[in-house]
Structure 1
Amino acid sequence: MNKLAAYIEAKSEMENLKKRLEALESDESLKQTLKFQNELDKLMDKFGVSQDDVLKMWGKAKADAKGAADKRRGTRPLKTYKNPKTGETVKTRGGNHKTLNAWREEYGKDAVDSWLVK
């Protein structure tokens, strides 16, 4: 029975996808977009230019995964803390640094925050 139910469900999904595809194919804006894409591809082939080259020309080069994450969140500034009692220096971009947390436990958060150099 499970195979029969899976078959019926798959057939139903296929019919729904056919209906969606027919609706998309009749959409005029999609037709125009596909026409533009085809003509652009032909033009790029004619001049031997890749999609990346076109994007670079317009200053819209694709970012790698790391670059995309940086644009979304941005990088945190590098902070430098210097312990006046020991002279030890800690550089961190986040607040969850092992040495920094140890100092906070020993000297208190306000005291450690006052040691911020940069």
Structure 2
Amino acid sequence: MSRLAEFRALEHLLAAKKSELSFIKIDPHLKREFEFEGKLRDLLAEYQFGLSDILAIRGIEDEDSKHSWSPPLPLRRFRARQCKYYRNPYTGEMVEAKSTLNKTLQLWMQQYGREEVKRWATVWY
């Protein structure tokens, strides 16, 4: 691979990751996790504990719970389909869909083409 082709491939990858990062930044679950982490750190500072202290406490609890019986988890037969988030770069509109049968996605596919719309997708875990 030539250096120019490698450069362009990396540039394309960087643009894709920036787009994915912009989706993740607006995720309400991420905001809740940041809020929880901040409150947890404040609480640890208030009681003068560190993360190692909490892990040590948690480790003791885990050893005790090894001996207790718990019922087996039920097996899932089918995996749930993941939600994909599509962001139209021309209008900034976002759509959450599990398949391409979504009405808005269908309109976008007619207007911009199927392959173009597929490139707009990101998956949040």
What is the TM-score of this pair, normalised by structure 1? Answer: 0.45
Higher helix residue share? 1
Using CA pairs under 8 Å that are at least 6 residues apart, name the structure with larger relative contact order, 1 or 2. 2
Which of structures 1 and 2 has the bigger CA Rg? 1
